Every structure is written in C-alpha cells, then in structure tokens.
Amino acid sequence: MWCWRLTGLFNVPCRLSRSTSHRSAWLPGYRKIFSAAAARWHHTAPESLNCVWQLHGDHLELRYANTLMRFDFVWLRDHCRSASCYNTKTNQRSLDTASVDLGIKPKAVRVDETTLFLTWPDGHVTRYGLEWLVKNSYEGQKQQVMHPRILWNAEIYKQSQIPSIDCRSFLETDEGLKEFLQNFLLYGIAFVENVTPTKEDTEILAERISLIRETIYGRMWYFTSDFSRGDTAYTKLALDRHTDTTYFQEPCGIQVFHCLKHEGTGGRTLLVDGFYAADQVLQQAPDQFELLSKVPLKHEYVENVGGCHNHMIGVGPVLNVYPWNNELYLIRYNNYDRAVINTVPYDVAHRWYTAHRTLTTELRRPENELWVKLKPGKALFIDNWRVLHGREAFTGYRQLCGCYLTRDDVLNTARLLGLQA
C-alpha cells in the first residue's frame, strides 16, 4: 500500500516508508550534534547505543529507535502515568497541570533497556516506556500519518477494483463492516449493494456506522427536482464538483446517497478525489498550496423559499492541514456557495485566485473524474471532507435519499474495529 504523506510545504511528498525518508533528512545534522556532545551523552549500557540521553537546561534530549526527541520538563511532569497522576480506568489525567512549577527540572534521570525514570524535586517518580515516548513525542508524531490513504484518479480507483460490500454482510458481520470502513478510509468512497431501495433501509445502513447528523435539510432526506428548497440540488441542472455544507463551521463529515428512482436520462454522479488534486498542487506549486491552506474564506447559504428561511456562514480555508505534519484532513470547495471574499487584501486575493485556478484545473482533469450511475439498491458513502461530488443534468423523475453522518462517530466505529482512523 502507498503511504502518501505531505512532508512539508516546501517538500515533495514521498512514497518512501516513514523512517527512511525522515531519517535521511536530519541524519547529517544529528551526527554533528551527537559527536560534539558525545562526552556528555549517557548510554543505557556501555556497549549499547540503543538509547542515549542528555539533560539540558530546559529540556531532556533522548535518542531511541532512530528518533532524536526533545522533551520539555513540564511536559514530562504533566504526562506522568503514575497512579496519582493518571487514572488508567478512565484514561484521564488526575494531575492538576496548573499546580506544576513551570521551572521544574528532574533531580535524577535514569534509563534502562525499556524505560526512562525521572525523579522530581519533591521525590515523585515518573516512568515512561521508551516505545511510548517514540510514539507520543512531537518528533515521532511528525513522522506518522494520522490517516493512511490511497490518493486516486479514475484509473487508479478502477484498477484497484474495490468491491461493493453486500448489505447483509455490512449489517450482520464485523468483517463486512470492517472491510467497508477500510475501503472508505483509504479511498474516501465506498458502496453497499443489495440494499432495499427505501429511505428506512438506507437509515438502517447509516446507523450501523454512525449517528446521523441532522441538519437544516432534516435527518434522512429525500430530494427530487421540485425546487422545494432554495438550492440547485433540487433542480434537474448539472452540478459541478463540490463538497457540501461548506457554509457550516464544521462541514458534514460523510454524505450518504441512495438513488431510489430514476426514469429518464443523464443524472450520473461525478466523484473526484480532492486530496489527489491538492497533492498535485503541492508538487507543482507548494506556495499556492500553502496559500490555499492559510487564507480564510467564508461560505454562505441564504435560503428564502416557501417556508424555509436559513442563513448559514462557515469560515475556513480551502485546504485544511495538520500544522505539525502538513497532512491534509479537509477540503472545502464549493464555488456555488463561496461567499464574498473580504478576509484578505486585494493582492492576496489575486494570489488566492491564481492558486484556486491551479487547484480547479487539477480537479477538472478528465482523468481525475470517476463517473458512476447510482441505481436503486446501491448506496454510496462519500467522505465529504475529501471527495468532491457533482452530477450530470438529467431528464425525468429522479429521487435520491440519504443523510449526513458525523465524522467523529464514523471514525469511532472504525477505531473500535481496530482500524487506524
């Protein structure tokens, strides 16, 4: 499996395994530090280079498992897992962090093969497993991806021949559900087949993996081209690729679509991996990627049709990345619902339009477009934080049902099944 990482705004993402790629980046510098300070480094055992450490004025430096880590002393006191500091039954901290002296420094440090021991001025002893430190340190985190993913264009997606999961296996077995969720996490889309084409059966599917997110559109919704709501979705017109609910402070995490009926032509669904396109931007123009991840934008939904009156505003950049490793986690892209740009001065606005054009060009490449015709019985789950959807214009009567899901609850289900989410 490819492990795609956005290693840094000004780096090209790589497909190398995580340890090799990062180590090569810092090893020369590290060697220098290491040899200059060699006399003061402490080893686990004289013959072992497994773990070495050094106490500095304001931090502890530790090298273990090819990771050079630096820990703040308050951090080390704060994360103490001793019985008086941490409740392992609830997995909650009991220590009052505000009671820790900000100038605290360990009075003794010792390391054996597996554990770091710190004795604090008041005599309290903190123990850390070295493996735990690697996993939980900033330096360790930087080398990890939060969400393993496979970025795709139409060819890659088709080549991987991801099967749809049978409805019964999805509903009745953990293996079926897990396979579905693994596909969903990796690709941002997944299908369930042999679903009874009703709103009620679609609801049962949704509830198998998450809480349903009720919105201004309701809990489970039906929609046709009756313009019952003041939005283009409720017409027969084509809809260009977009993500939904960009005008929420937290856009809906997942969208479920199930076509219950279509007597007519057209109406195919378009799917585009927004992260694949963003990754192309990162490679071609990292400064444009950065701008798209920094400029805050407003999206807005103003509705005054029939009895429906709504005014929603959501603020956030087009690309949302974790600042410590630059990994993308959310794309907000909806040119219909984007509001007036008044959050940046004119020159930044112009640079933003250039960057938006680069991203749009990638999103519109025909080779990135996956077209599917939704049919009764086949439900589609879309990661609305990653994969854009659109539709072709259509004729005739077409009825879609579906709902939005809360992202936290989908990821919760995935983690409980042992998946990294």
Q: Among residues 30, 221, 322, 329, which is the contact residue for ligand M3L, using CB under 6 A?
A: 221
Does position 330 bind ligand AKG by CB under 6 A?
Answer: no
Q: Residues 307-336: x/- map of binding to ligand M3L (CB under 6 A)? A: ---------------------------x-x
Beta strand pairing call for 308-316 and 319-321? unpaired
Does position 233 bind ligand M3L by CB under 6 A?
Answer: yes
- Closer CB to ligand M3L, 118 or 382, in the complex: 382
- Three-state DSSP state, 70: strand
- C-alpha closest to that of 168 among 211, 190, 210, 201: 201
391 binds, among ligand M3L, ligand AKG, Fe ion, none (CB under 5 to 8 A by kind): ligand AKG
**Nearest distance from C-beta of residue 236 to ligand M3L, angstroms:** 14
**Nearest distance from C-beta of residue 12 to ligand M3L, angstroms:** 33
- C-alpha closest to that of 245 among 373, 369, 349, 382: 382
Does position 239 bind ligand AKG by CB under 6 A?
Answer: yes
Residues in 378-407 at the binding interface with ligand AKG, rule: CB under 6 A? 389, 391, 400
Instruction: Name the CA dihedral angle for 104, 107, 111, 115, rounded to a multiple of 10 degrees.
Output: -50
Q: Segment near ligand M3L (CB under 6 A), from 30-38, 54-62, 166-174, 238-246?
A: 238-246
- Closer CB to ligand AKG, 51 or 403, in the complex: 403
Does position 279 bind ligand M3L by CB under 6 A?
Answer: no
H or E element: which one contains 51? Answer: strand 48-55
Q: Among residues 63, 147, 178, 242, which is the contact residue for ligand M3L, using CB under 6 A?
A: 242
- Closer CB to Fe ion, 106 or 251, in the complex: 251
Q: Segment near ligand M3L (CB under 6 A), from 72-80, 83-91, 138-146, 215-223?
A: 215-223
Does position 236 bind ligand AKG by CB under 6 A?
Answer: no
383 binds, among ligand AKG, ligand M3L, Fe ion, none (CB under 5 to 8 A by kind): none
Residue 229 has what DSSP assignment?
Answer: S
Helices (H) and strands (E) in the chain, counts: 12, 24
CB atoms within 10 A of CB 47: 7
Q: Segment near ligand M3L (CB under 6 A), from 126-134, 165-173, 183-191, 239-247?
A: 239-247
Does position 231 bind ligand M3L by CB under 6 A?
Answer: yes
- Three-state DSSP state, 132: helix
Does position 245 bind ligand M3L by CB under 6 A?
Answer: yes
134 binds, among ligand AKG, ligand M3L, Fe ion, none (CB under 5 to 8 A by kind): none
Pairwise CA distance, residues 249 & 230, whole Å: 20
Pairwise CA distance, residues 377 & 196, whole Å: 6
Does position 222 bind ligand M3L by CB under 6 A?
Answer: no
**Nearest distance from C-beta of residue 167 to ligand M3L, angstroms:** 22
Give the dihedral sign, CA 338/386/410/145. negative
Residue 191 has what DSSP assignment?
Answer: E
CA–CA distances in Å: residue 185 to residues 153, 342, 421? 16, 35, 7
Instruction: Name the CA dihedral angle for 240, 242, 248, 251, rounded to a multiple of 10 degrees.
Output: 150
Q: Among residues 157, 191, 217, 333, which is the contact residue for ligand M3L, using CB under 6 A?
A: 217
Go through the chain and tell me how many residues it has.
421
- Closer CB to ligand AKG, 389 or 407, in the complex: 389
Q: Is the Cβ–Cβ distance between 62 and 69 less than 8 Å?
A: yes
Tokens of 66: 């090819």
Pairwise CA distance, residues 132 & 114, whole Å: 10
**Nearest distance from C-beta of residue 305 to ligand M3L, angstroms:** 13
Tokens of 193: 């087949």
Site residues, ligand AKG (CB under 6 A): 233, 239, 244, 269, 389, 391, 400
Site residues, ligand M3L (CB under 6 A): 217, 221, 223, 231, 233, 242, 244-245, 334, 336-337
